[in-house]
Amino acid sequence: MSGAGPDRRDQERAVAALNLAGGGDSAGAQELLQRGKTRAIRMRIVLVLGSLLVGGAIGLILGDRGRASDGSSVAHWRTVAGPALLIAAFLLELVVIVARVKSGQFKAGWRSPSLVLSRSQRRGVLRQIRGRAAIDESMLPVSRQLAGLLRQNRSIIRLFVAVPLIFLGQALPQNAPFRWWLAIFMVVVYLVLIVLIYRDSTRAERFLTHYPHDRPTQQQP
């Protein structure tokens, strides 16, 4: 009997996700959605605090290296280009954030039916969207909604472009090797993230093309 517990809960989560994807607002689905939002918020807080702690530790440990200079003068164009890059990066972030808020993308993410699914269920849906697993047509409404969010993530690429620009803007006006190595590292990391996000959004778009919203679906048993 104990082995049936997780399967039953997964079935309940699947039914709730389908209810939300269909525009329903049953009490059980809303309760699971609220729990999913709480977990997501908690995870984001942990990630932000962890990033701040790691960044602060690196800054304290390597701060002197970051200010170190080889004594040579800095070209005038670099002292101008550095602040200009910083301003452009911050403006780009502001524009992207405002555009995502106005388009409702932030709100759509917090209403996503995938929030009520367990981690293993979400991974299963993602594998289907990425073409790595057979399609469960009974869950197509949820898969379509998640694929739509992945396709919208292309706008995040512009945010990810802004971050390495900030590090480059800080490094340009200085002859500090550590800042340059850090800027190069961040450029590489964010280039990898951009490729991964673009690849996922392309796969999501292909999934939505093959499984449009007007395609009939099987009912969840």
Domain spans, the chain: 4-210
What is residue 216's predicted lDDT score, i.e. its pLDDT? Answer: 56
Query: Helix crossing, 27-67 with 4-21: angle to 10°?
Result: 90
Measured CA to CA, the distance from residue 186 to residue 115 in angstroms comes to 30
What is residue 204's predicted lDDT score, i.e. its pLDDT? Answer: 92
Beta strands in the chain (DSSP E): none
pLDDT tens, position by position, 152-190: 888 888 888 888 888 888 888 887 777 788 788 888 888
Q: In terms of Cα–Cα distance, which of 154, 136, 118 is closest to 16? A: 118
Query: What residue type is assigned to position 33 of the chain?
Result: L
pTM for the full predicted model = 0.72
Q: Are 203 and 149 in contact (CB under 8 A)?
A: no
Mean pLDDT of all residues in the chain?
Answer: 79
Give me 128's structure tokens: 């289907």
pLDDT tens, position by position, 1-56: 344 455 888 888 888 888 888 877 788 777 877 888 788 778 778 876 776 676 66
- Strand, helix or coil for residue 112: coil
What is residue 31's predicted lDDT score, i.e. its pLDDT? Answer: 82
- Strand, helix or coil for residue 203: helix
What is residue 72's predicted lDDT score, i.e. its pLDDT? Answer: 62
Measured CA to CA, the distance from residue 79 to residue 49 in angstroms comes to 32
What is residue 203's predicted lDDT score, i.e. its pLDDT? Answer: 93
| End-to-end alpha carbon distance in the chain | 21
| pLDDT confidence bin for 199, thresholds 50/70/90 | very high
Taking the CA of residue 86 as centre, how many other CA atoms within 13 Å lie in the half-sphere pointing to its CB?
11
Q: Are 89 and 165 in contact (CB under 8 A)?
A: yes
Give me 91's structure tokens: 């403006």
Q: Are 194 and 137 in contact (CB under 8 A)?
A: no
